[in-house]
Structure formats: C-alpha cells, structure tokens
Amino acid sequence: MKKAGIPRFSTRLQQKLGLGTWQLGGPNMVQGKAMGWGEISEQESLSILAKALESGIQFIDTADSYGKGLSEIIVGKALQAATYPQDIIVCTKFGNVYLPDGSTGQDFSAEHLHASVNASLQRLGRGHIDVLLMHSPPDNFDWEQYDPEPFEELVRRGLVRQYGVSSKSVYGAKRVMDAGFGSVIEVIYNALDRRAEEILFNHPDYLDYDMIGRVPLGSGFLSDRLLLEDPQFGEDDYRSHMADRDKNWMLENARKLAFLAELPGGLSSNALRFTLQNSQIAVLIPGARSVAQVQSNVQAANLPALSQGYIQRIQQTVPSVPDWWKPTS
C-alpha cells in the first residue's frame, strides 16, 4: 500500500551514483570473525567522503552496525565539515544487534527502533534520517504480524522521511513488496546477479518503491585486478569467510565477463555502468576504500551507456546465479 505523504528520494537526486560506507566501519571483528572490510584510517575515510561530496554524490548509505556505529560517526563528521550545497540524502539501517556474549542477533521491535533512531541521529549529527531501513530481516519474516505504525509515527514526527527494507535476497524483497511495507527496497543487483529484473522489477507494486542497488561490483569480484590474479583477503575482511563454492563461482563468472575490460574504463567501470543505466534502479551504492575508487566510480557514471549488444552478451555469458542461491521450494 502506497504510503501517502512520503517524499520520494529519487525525485531529489541529480545523479544515480551514491556511496556505500560499509568499508568505512573498519574490520569489526565479532567472536573472531570479520564483519567488515579490513583496516582503514579515519583520515582516509573522511577523504573518501569529501571526494564523494565534492564530486556531486548526494546519497550516502550506512548502518548502525557498520563498525558498531563507527561508519555513522565518520559520515556525520564528513557532513558537518562539508561545504558543498547539494541536498545530501542519508540512508541508515537498524536491527542488527550485539548480544552480551559477544555474538550478534536481530531486534526489529518498536522499542529498539526508537532507541536506534535516536542513537543514529546522535552519531550522524542530524535532525532527521532521510531513509531508514530494516537491516537484512530473514527472508521468511512474518510481515502480516509486523506493525508499521511505529515507523509511520517517526515519519509524522519528522524524524524519518522514508522507510523500508535492506533485503537479504530478492526473494525476501518480493515478500516485502507483497506486504506493501514501506517505500524503499535495497537489493543486490549487478552484472552477475540480475534476479531483481525478473522478481522485483516486474512486481505489480514496483512503482511504489525507490530501489537502491547494492553490491554493484559483486563484492569486489568484478575487478580488473582479479582477471589476472586470484583474490587474497585478509582475516579482517569478511570475504575471507565466504564459502569456497561462492568465491569460486563469483571469480569464475566475473572472468567470463572479461570482454567488458576491453572497453574504455575496464571491467569494473563497465560493470558499474551496467547497473547505473538500468532505469528501474533509483540509486546505486558502490563502496570505496580509497579516493581513487571514488574517482573511478564517478568516471564510470560518466561513460556512455553500454549498447544493447553488450547487455545481451552479459545475459548470455552469465545466464543465472548458481542453483544453491535459489530457494529449494
């Protein structure tokens, strides 16, 4: 059900390229397991955000669990120091929690919602959150029993402008849309994983949602460097804990797209361009661990659109995701 009176962030954007800030949360070790992308200095993080804002990027995606709040703090510092006039849209997430025994869990209760919003506003140094998302609820989340009224109350109070869900998978996102919850969906979409095209973009209520494309570079596997060398992930990089069959599939199929590396900009830029030119994506949020990566993303956004021939070649080369990524029933 369309939520009346909620302004759409897509109508405020001057460009579709945003910035994801999971990387800026640092290693974020939980019970010896990396939940982040590895070590990064605060100065480098602030430089990345400054370059993004200077380049005209308006959409910043973060979460309260990235670095246990560190990413939000860094985003807040960068925005307070910014001198650029554009209207910055900040998207953050809640629901992932750290338990007393050091493990993680999830809490989407109204009580935790309000506490999380207050804490995020303080870390960000802002009076409102433009987009608030539930952070990766289970795909089988019981939407029929979940009350959206606490979110609507936050909207009425001016603390949140839009709300929705950052989904684990396209299948969970479809159930969000079936239930009519919120007005924003954040979902995986890239040249290797195009399931959103069939499962979400043809949904009868698609036009009621702003779509945020996440993981546009396939967790870094759509990289020119990995065309020539095997990936080496440090122990403080979450990708070091990916299942071997997932890593092997990603690497093998990214290399099948090597023909994109022959175009100006290389593989990464043209893989990014593939996602950017899809009219059904409102904004794309590639991450960055250096200023150079921000500059590369901006350059990719200025490349001409891929021809239909290249789009078809991508589709034919990697026709689908592996079967173990799909539901069993």
What is the residue-wise DSSP string for 272-326? HHHHHT-TT-SEE--B-SSHHHHHHHHHHHTSPPPPHHHHHHHHHHS-S--GGGS
Q: Residues near 244 by Cβ (< 8 Å), separated by ≥ 6?
A: none
Judged on CB neighbours under 10 Å (0-12, 13-18, 19+), 263 is middle
- The domain locations on the chain are 10-319
Round to whole Å and give the CA distance between 292 and 231.
20
Q: In this structure, which amino acid lies at residue 238? A: Y
Q: How many CB atoms lie within 10 A of CB 320?
A: 13
pLDDT digits (tens, 9 = 90+) for 305-327: 999 999 999 999 999 999 999 99
pLDDT < 50 stretches in the chain = 1-2
Global pTM?
0.94
Round to whole Å and give the CA distance between 268 and 162.
31
Q: Are strands 19-20 and 29-30 parallel, antiparallel or unpaired?
A: unpaired
Positive or negative, the Cα torsion across 289, 295, 298, 299? negative
Topology classification of domain 10-319: TIM Barrel (3.20.20)
Q: What is the DSSP letter of 9?
A: G
pLDDT of residue 1: 44
Round to whole Å and give the CA distance between 209 and 23.
26
What H or E segment, with its residue span, contains residue 156? helix 149-156
What H or E segment, with its residue span, contains residue 170? helix 170-179
pLDDT of residue 239: 87
Round to whole Å and give the CA distance between 256 and 248.
12
Three-state secondary structure call for residue 267: helix
Asked if 186 contacts 209 with a C-beta cutoff of 8 angstroms, the reply is no
Cα 175 from chain centroid?
A: 19
pLDDT digits (tens, 9 = 90+) for 3-52: 555 679 999 999 999 999 999 987 776 666 766 677 889 999 999 999 99
